[in-house]
Amino acid sequence: NKFSPRGGSSFHHNNDDNWKLEKHMPPTLGDVDRGIQSYERQHYIQQKPKPITQAIREYFIRLHRASPALYYATISSILIFIASQIPSRQLTMFLQNHFINSRRNLLRGRYHTVLTSALNHSTFMHLALNLYGFHIFGKSVVPILSRSGISLSLYCVLGGIFSNLFFSTVHPLGSCLGLSGVTLSLLALDARLNPGKIIGFVIRFVPIQCPAQYALTGLLVWSSFMTLMMMNGGGGDGVAHATHLGGLLWGIAVYEMISRGVWNSVFRRNWNMILKKLKW
């Protein structure tokens, strides 16, 4: 580059000198930060992972601190699933009598099964998917439930009972088990609280991402359609869609009660009186 000031003199600026000047300039804060991040990333990659037992133990410690309800429901579901894999006729009969929601059990006075059946799962994948959603959406809604004076354990207990009673009403001759009613109720509540939140699904190995409100609408439509199909004698696919629908409706109902102030003005204010009447 050539610079000619008024007066006729000239000044030549050498690009090589400019390169040398830039080369010896002190690093900026951004350069230092990128260098630290690069070093930490490389160090993390080269570092050996924790033993799997330690990682599992630390996860459950954090889970218990985040929410005892999530912790104890998870432990109970895992233990019941392990018990269901033991080849024992007496144990199998015990689980069928006390951990499956069915007309047979309700007619015999085993009313606790509308709740305990939520802790029973048929396959490992059934257990894993339910617990994954249970943890993700459960942790997400804990703050708003706490501010409204609703414990997560109370929410899940009532959600499990409602979704299973909804199934028994729609399919009086059917039976169901699993945590999906509670998990989908948590999803519905989280979707109403955070409608723009991006939720990821995997459907037949195809990853799908969409806003939470779209996911809730799709699940409501699908669960309602399949429930009506099965009520009208359509072929079932082995999925308790009525339980899913009941869970979704419970989550939406709780959101409406919280947002409209019904929970605080009616239930929370008169909670002790309600408990006494229920006990009576």
pLDDT digits (tens, 9 = 90+) for 120-129: 999 999 999 9
Please state, in angstroms and rounded to a whole number, the distance separating the CA atoms of residues 268 and 148.
9
Find the range with the poorest average confidence among 52-56, 194-198, 210-214, 230-234.
Answer: 230-234
Block residue for tokens 């099965």: 230
* Amino acid letter, residue 235: G
What mean pLDDT, rounded, does the chain reach?
Answer: 84
What's the rounded mean pLDDT across residues 29-37?
61
Enter the pTM of the model: 0.79
Indicate whether 235 pLDDT > 90.
no
pLDDT digits 0-9 by tens, 210-233: 999 999 999 999 999 999 988 887
Q: Looking at the chain, how many residues does it have?
A: 280
Pick the closest to residue 74 from 123, 128, 141 (CA basis).
128
141-178 pLDDT, tens digit per residue, is 999 998 888 899 999 999 999 999 999 999 988 999 99
Across the range 38-62, mean pLDDT stands at 78
Beta strands in 18-123 (DSSP E): 101-102
pLDDT of amino acid 237: 73
| pLDDT at residue 267 is higher than 50 | yes
Structure tokens at 93: 């009969």
Distance of CA 263 to the CA centre of its chain: 23
Q: Is the distance from CB of 269 to CB of 148 less than 8 angstroms? A: no
Whole-number pLDDT of residue 205: 76
- Integer angstrom CA distances of residue 62 from 4, 72, 152, 153, 280: 70, 13, 16, 17, 39
Question: Is the pLDDT higher at 251 or at 55?
Answer: 251
Q: Percentage of the chain surpassing pLDDT 70?
A: 77
* pLDDT for position 206: 82
Q: What is the distance between the alpha carbons of residues 140 and 142, in angstroms, rounded to a whole number?
A: 6
Q: What is the pLDDT of residue 231?
A: 86
Beta bridge partners of 203: 206
Residue 4 has pLDDT above 50, yes or no: no
User: Who's near 100: CB < 8 A, 6+ residues apart?
Assistant: 113, 117, 120, 175, 176, 177
